[in-house]
Amino acid sequence: MTQQTRARTAAYALTAAVLLTGAVAPAATAAPAHHAQQAQKDSARIPFTAAEVTAQDDGSYEITWKAPGVHRVTIRANGRTVASGGSTGKVTVRHLPAADRQWFDLVPDRGGRLHLADRLIKLEGTVNFRDAGGYRTKDGHWVRMGVVYRSDALDKLTDADLAKLKRLGLSVDYDLRTTSEKAAAPDRVPQGVRYVAANVLGDDSPVFSMPSTADEAAQMMVDGEKAMVSADTAKAAYSTIFADLSDGDPVGTLYHCTAGKDRTGWASAALLTALGVPRGTVMEDYLASNDYRAEANAAALAAMPAAQAAVYKPMLDVRAEYLNSGFEEVEEAYGSFTAYEKKGLGLDARELKRLKAELLVG
């Protein structure tokens, strides 16, 4: 299938040495400085290999963590200690005051702390607005939370939602949808937020007939994922986002599409992979849309005749085969993800270094 055909198909289906000179004396005096620098690095290194905050329906928060080699972890919220445990723990924190977003500091007895919140941002007008961070990289860093967000459509945001997003510091909105999608359901964002149209699929694609079987629908999604990697419109859109993320302060950045799962899903998959997050974790983040959108998807399918719902379901789902097809396209079209970073996302080595400096801790 050609690149142009993939892009057209996707449009309907989806409507990521220091040199020492001299004799012995200089080397002897350099050693203490080296040890001091290493000690400083060790003190900042985050020892957690896993950690997560999950808000519960009753207003409590479940916090889990693993920090091998640590003897004690203290959990702090709102300036006070709310729980503690050992190197591995699971606690439930209750009776905290209401907040737009409840943050926790996981403080180990050695090494750096983690600043985490529940990933989902609860809003009245969205179901899939969440933090893109909170994940550990393969080399032990963590992706900062409270910096970059991903979402579904924003047209149904309430005034209360807008006020909440303003307090959370939303600064720029990258709309990944087509022109017709934007016209039918224009974004609502807080005043002062910069709006950027980053149309992943383009607008020159004809409308195709609906797939007639579930298998055809699933194949349409696979082809759409490939187009997000190789289509010129997709490369231009994602390059715009990554250029801004690596060139300045990324705090308050949001990218979204209609369901927040496909075009948005690839944006997050590409970002997390570029930052060094393991593929398995990237997949978990991608598939989480099935959980966040479960109620909305179920309602949509229940409103259709059974035969029609069977065809629609693959287009409402996110599936491992969809995301995997995107990574397969990266290998086929570019040879490696490193090459895709440069040619597909417009990131050179210096920009990638800046991106990591802005978004990684530990």
Q: Domain boundary at 110, 133, 153, which?
A: 110
Determine the average pLDDT of the residues in 39-68.
Answer: 89
Q: What is the rounded average pLDDT of the residues 276-301?
A: 98
Binned at pLDDT 50, 70 and 90, residue 188 comes out as very high
pLDDT at 111 over 80: yes
pLDDT at 205: 53
Note the pLDDT tens digit of each residue in 135-160: 999 999 999 999 999 999 999 999 99
Judge whether residue 18 has pLDDT over 50: no
**12 band by pLDDT with thresholds 50, 70 and 90:** very low
Verify that 177 and 262 share a domain, yes or no: yes
Q: Highest mean pLDDT range out of 4-8, 36-40, 133-137?
A: 133-137
Burial of 329 (0-12, 13-18, 19+ CB in 10 A): buried
Q: Specify the CATH number for the domain of residue 208.
A: 3.90.190.10
Same domain, 8 and 128: yes
Residues 151 and 100 in one domain: no
Residue 181 lies in a domain: yes
| Beta-strand runs (E) in 69-147 | 73-77, 80-85, 88-93, 103-108, 114-117, 130-131, 142-143
Do 216 and 286 lie in a common domain? yes
**What CA–CA distance (Å, rounded) separates 61 from 50?**
16
Does the pLDDT of residue 80 top 60, yes or no?
A: yes
- Is 263 contained in some domain? yes
- 241, 257, 267, 269: the active-site residue: 257
> Exposed (0-12), middle (13-18) or buried (19+): which is 330, by Cβ within 10 Å?
buried
- State how beta strands 103-108 and 80-85 pair: unpaired
Per the domain annotation, does 62 fall within a domain? yes
Domain coverage including residue 326: 3-16+121-361
Distance CA 198, CA 219 (A): 25
Read off the pLDDT of each residue in 178-203 and give the average, rounded to a whole number: 96
Mean pLDDT across 3-7: 47
- Does 100 share its domain with 196? no
Domain boundary among 89, 110, 131: 110
For the chain, how many structural domains are there in total? Answer: 2
User: Which tokens is 59 given?
Assistant: 């207003």
Is the pLDDT reported for residue 191 higher than 70?
A: yes
Residue 201 and residue 64 share a domain = no
Give pLDDT, residue 29.
39
**Are 169 and 268 members of one domain?**
yes
Domain-embedded: residue 54:
yes
Please tell me the predicted confidence (pLDDT) of residue 247. 87
Q: Is 167 part of any domain?
A: yes
Residue 39 belongs to a domain: no
198 and 241 co-located in one domain: yes
202 and 129 within one domain: yes
Asked whether residue 24 is domain-assigned, the answer is: no
150 and 207 fall within a common domain: yes
Contact 149, 134 (CB under 8 A): no
Our answer to whether residue 35 is catalytic in this structure is no
Are both 347 and 219 inside the same structural domain?
yes
Give 208-237 pLDDT, tens digit per residue. Answer: 457 999 999 999 999 999 999 999 999 999
Q: Are residues 74 and 150 in the same domain?
A: no
Sheet of 80-85, strands arranged across: 80-85, 73-77, 103-108, 114-117
HSE at residue 254, side-chain half, CA atoms within 13 A, is: 28
End residue of a domain, out of 110, 139, 162: 110
Is the pLDDT at 280 greater than 80? The verdict is yes
215 within some domain: yes
Q: Is the pLDDT of residue 286 over 70?
A: yes
